[in-house]
Chain A
Amino acid sequence: DIQMTQSPSSLSASVGDRVTITCRASQSISSYLNWYQQKPGKAPKVLIYAASSLQSGVPSRFSGSGSGTDFTLTINSLQPEDFATYYCQQSYNTPLTFGGGAKVEIK
């Protein structure tokens, strides 16, 4: 199984900050990497697919990069509604696996 490791697992940031979350795969997954946002009590929603493609309707302050084993989710100018938990997920092969999550909290 492909293990997905996210860092940090939590961070505190202020509105307007630039936030970067990393995700590392235990083997090369090319660009088969997706990012999701989850708010408390809600279902996750996709932000980025295929490592860098922005899902329709998602604000352009979200961006994804990387290929192979190392990936990054960047949030430019953090907004109040961005405080949530973010998960990466590989779709290279089954079992499909998620990272452990990165909780973005208000400083």
Chain B
Amino acid sequence: EVQLVESGGGLVKPGGSLRLSCAASGFGFSGTWMSWVRQAPGKGLEWIGRIKSKTAGGTTDYAAPVKGRFTISRDDSKDTLYLQMNSLTTEDTAVYYCTAESSYYSGGASYIYFAYWGPGTLVTVSS
């Protein structure tokens, strides 16, 4: 059974830092592209960034609101995904979801979707 479990959320002051972890099990973590998606209270879903598998280069990509402040990394030996968040503002208050991406190949194209999600961890930025 696929499981993703986030941890590390909590209350942090504006300007502070926090590191989230996501423990993965039940699938080939090292070969899977992983993303973080967040949801502010009462709002919609927002993709914040992705890390590709090492075989795909292990590169990262970020949404503009977090670029330069957030860093996604992975430890394939521990099947764990990380999100380092620095210079936090109240706008970063949200539930943060870890997601595992899957690909569907058809007609020479690769269609990617968020196949698995963790239950989320709440990050509250407040003084």
What is the bound-complex CA distance between A95 and B102, given in angstroms? 17
Interface of A is mostly: loop
Interface of B is mostly: strand
A49 touches B111 (CB 8 A): yes
Report A-chain residues with C-beta under 8 Å of the C-beta of B61.
Answer: 94-95
Q: Which of B47, B104, B114, B119 has the most CB of A within 10 A?
A: B114
From A10-18, A28-36, A73-81, the one touching the partner chain is A28-36
Q: Which chain A residues in 54-85 approach chain B with CB under 8 Å?
A: 55
Question: B-side interface residues toward A, CB under 8 Å?
Answer: 35, 44-47, 50, 61-64, 97, 102, 104, 106, 109, 111-115, 117-120
Apart from A36-B45, A91-B111, 10 more pairs, CB < 8 Å: A32-B109, A38-B45, A44-B97, A89-B47, A89-B113, A94-B61, A95-B64, A96-B35, A98-B46, A101-B44
